[in-house]
């Protein structure tokens, strides 16, 4: 898996005869980038080839930037630009022509070195690149941005590649293998970083606990609201049922707690209407049927009937 990193590669032009045009301020064929670094890191040839357009017209400054590699540069540090950038046929690295200001304060020193000691004409490119590890080596798979190309002194004694995830300590190059760091090394060399990691983890844990507490409180309030809404709905239904019973004009004896419970449990108004009508019919059929059987003739009671003769007398 490749990662974006800040890279600086030092390279010199030793062993190469440089063509110099003093009047136009051009040094042809300077070495910009090699494919193999002294630290065992490798640039893919295709990555270098794809980066040609990024180096074409790249600004050339004197010395490394002060502070951040991507920080602003002083005007007096600007020396020139790179043109005619191309892949060298032999090694597959990148070469180009340095177009510089012949009136620059360091122009004569640069020309002397180019003519008499080309190993002193060295460049350090300042780029952003995608890197991965293959077989224990760091491989540059893609150069995504060229910040600048810097002219540096004695590149032969300082050449190398180092990634820079944070600003290095002044006067020292960072050459840390981050995937090989251990907790013990952090405790010894950077206890401040270890503490920062622990503090961040604690803050994240506390934040998660606070979120959980709020979620629990919200759940409880939601349940309370649901209970209140159910109670409100039951109260409103009880009012409707009482009204329907009153309009039905059922006798008090017919309105029992069980009957009210059935009405409250009914699924809709039509179901309640059917229950009320059923109760009305039951009440109507249970009325007692009685008839007073009295026979009277004139005033007074009938004579006692004990046999057929007395019955005949009673009806005549």
Q: Are residues 94 and 17 in the same domain?
A: yes
Residue corresponding to tokens 């950077």: 190
Write down the pLDDT at residue 270: 93
Counting Cβ atoms within 10 Å, is residue 107 exposed (0-12), middle (13-18) or buried (19+)? middle
Which residue, among 59, 55, 5, has the nearest Cα to 31 in the 3D structure? 55
In a domain, 308, yes or no: no
User: At a CB cut-off of 8 Å and minimum separation 6, what does 123 contact?
Assistant: 10, 11, 12, 30, 31, 32, 60, 149, 150, 151, 152, 155
pLDDT tens, the chain, 316 aa long: 667 777 766 676 665 667 889 889 999 988 888 888 766 778 999 999 999 999 999 999 888 777 666 677 888 889 999 999 999 887 778 889 999 999 999 899 888 888 888 777 688 888 888 999 888 888 999 999 988 888 887 553 333 322 233 334 444 444 455 555 677 777 776 777 777 788 888 888 888 888 888 888 888 888 999 999 999 999 999 999 999 998 988 888 888 999 889 999 998 999 999 999 998 888 876 555 444 444 444 445 555 656 656 655 655 5
In a domain, 315, yes or no: no
In a domain, 187, yes or no: no
Q: Are residues 44 and 157 in the same domain?
A: yes
In a domain, 314, yes or no: no
Q: Are residues 244 and 110 in the same domain?
A: no
In a domain, 74, yes or no: yes
Q: Are residues 280 and 137 in the same domain?
A: no
In a domain, 83, yes or no: yes
Instruction: Please state whether beta strands 59-62 and 137-152 pair in parallel, antiparallel, or not at all (unpaired).
Output: parallel
Write down the pLDDT at residue 101: 92
Q: Are residues 99 and 29 in the same domain?
A: yes
In a domain, 126, yes or no: yes
Write down the pLDDT at residue 297: 45
Residue corresponding to tokens 């080839």: 49
Q: How many CA atoms lie within 13 A of 311 on its CB side?
A: 3
Reading the block at residue 202, the tokens are 């604690």
In a domain, 131, yes or no: yes
Q: Which of 180, 202, 226 is the last residue of a domain?
A: 180
Q: Are residues 27 and 156 in the same domain?
A: yes
Write down the pLDDT at residue 154: 55
Which range of residues forms the domain containing residue 152? 3-167+174-180
Q: Are residues 17 and 147 in the same domain?
A: yes
Q: Looking at the 3D structure of the chain, how many domains does it have?
A: 2
pTM of the model: 0.47
Q: Are residues 139 and 225 in the same domain?
A: no
Q: What letter does residue 78 receive in the DSSP assignment?
A: E
Neighbour tally for 252: CB within 10 Å: 6
Q: Are residues 54 and 161 in the same domain?
A: yes
CA distances from 128 to 31, 82, 112, 144, 152 (A): 19, 18, 32, 6, 19
Reading the block at residue 275, the tokens are 């229950």
Write down the pLDDT at residue 162: 29
Write down the pLDDT at residue 54: 94
Q: Are residues 76 and 15 in the same domain?
A: yes
């Amino acid at each position: 898996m490749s990662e974006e990193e800040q890279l600086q590669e030092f390279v010199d032009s030793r062993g190469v005869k440089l063509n110099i045009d003093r009047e136009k301020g051009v040094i042809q064929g300077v070495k910009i980038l090699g494919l193999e670094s002294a630290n065992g890191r490798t640039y893919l040839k295709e990555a270098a080839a794809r980066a040609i357009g990024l180096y074409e017209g790249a600004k050339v400054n004197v010395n490394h930037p002060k502070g951040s590699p991507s920080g602003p540069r002083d005007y007096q540090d600007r020396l020139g630009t790179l043109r005619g950038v191309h892949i060298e046929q032999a090694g597959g690295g990148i070469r180009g022509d340095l177009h510089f200001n012949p009136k620059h304060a360091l122009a004569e020193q640069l020309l002397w070195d180019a003519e008499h000691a080309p190993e002193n004409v060295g460049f350090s490119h300042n780029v952003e690149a995608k890197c991965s590890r293959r077989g224990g080596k760091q491989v540059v798979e893609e150069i995504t941005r060229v910040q600048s190309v810097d002219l540096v002194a004695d590149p032969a004694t300082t050449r190398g590649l180092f990634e820079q995830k944070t600003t290095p300590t002044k006067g020292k190059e960072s050459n840390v293998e981050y995937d090989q760091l251990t907790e013990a090394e952090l405790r010894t060399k950077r206890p401040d970083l270890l503490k920062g990691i622990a503090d961040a983890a604690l803050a994240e844990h506390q934040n998660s606990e606070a979120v959980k507490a709020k979620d629990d409180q919200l759940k409880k309030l939601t349940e309370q609201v649901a209970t209140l809404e159910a109670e409100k709905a039951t109260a409103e239904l009880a009012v409707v049922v009482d009204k329907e019973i009153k309009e039905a004009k059922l006798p008090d004896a017919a309105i029992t707690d069980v009957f009210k419970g059935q009405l409250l449990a009914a699924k809709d108004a039509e179901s309640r209407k059917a229950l009320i009508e059923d109760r009305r019919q039951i009440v109507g059929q249970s009325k007692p049927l009685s008839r007073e059987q009295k026979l009277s003739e004139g005033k007074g009671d009938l004579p006692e009937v004990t046999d057929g003769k007395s019955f005949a007398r009673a009806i005549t």
